Structure 1
Amino acid sequence: MSVMQCRECDLAPYAVRPDAHFACDECGHRLDSRDFYLDPDEVWSVDETGTVHVFLTPAACLKWLDDIADLHTGDWATAQQALWQYRRATAGLVESLRAGLPLPA
């Protein structure tokens, strides 16, 4: 999970406004959800404070974990890289599930 930083100033995240648009508290840049640029494996959500967050879908996290299993871990550096990726994929999966995204059927 990561906050969706402002495209203009990159100093603050976007937050929801009463008019259903989003704006940066730092520079005031406004954005509509139709203008979000997300990877097909990402979804956005708004937390209880109104901040916009981006999550990997559970399906994308599970695919990532599956891809890690295919890594050849014959040397120390590659094994460390696989472990680091595994930790990131697992954390992404937990965060997306906590946000209420469903596991794939």
Structure 2
Amino acid sequence: MTVITCASCDGQTTYRVRPDRWFECPAGHELAPRDVVVDGMDEWAVDASGVLGTVVHPSFSLEQIAEAHDVLTATGDRTAFDAAAEACRAFLDAYRVGVA
């Protein structure tokens, strides 16, 4: 996870989630969830310790793995990789219907 830091604190502090689901740095600067802006295939997330950050969306990662699998299987025997890719495809199928 890439941690989102507080611009008002010159990027020296991180935001943590509050009970009201807003974010706050140790200096008291607040950030509303609607104001968290991410680019491309990133999503904002909160880790187990309450720190705000970004992650690559799981479906994007799994689609890249599936594409790599297709290229590798076209060029050689990759039995172990085939099994891993199939597991990734199954995860992606579950994710797309809301099970993840």
TM-score range, shorter chain: 0.5 to 0.7
C-alpha deviations, 1:38-90, integer Å up to 9, x for none? Answer: 013111221221111210013333455658xx9xxxxxxxxxxxxxxxxxxxx
Structure 2 distance, partners of 1:11, 1:21, is 19
SS in 1 for 2:44: strand
Report the TM-score when normalising by structure 2: 0.57
**In 2, are the aligned partners of 1:58 and 1:103 still within 8 Å (CA)?**
no
* Aligned match of 1:104: 92
Q: Which runs of 5+ in 2 are unaligned?
A: 72-89, 94-100
Percent identity between the aligned chains? 32
* Aligned match of 2:39: 39
Q: Which runs of 5+ in 1 are unaligned?
A: 71-101
- Greater helix share, 1 or 2? 2
Which structure: larger Rg? 2
Over 3 Å counting, the alpha-carbon distance change for 1:3 and 1:103 in structure 2 is: farther
SS in 2 for 1:8: helix
SS in 2 for 1:59: helix
Report the TM-score when normalising by structure 1: 0.55
Q: How many residues align?
A: 72
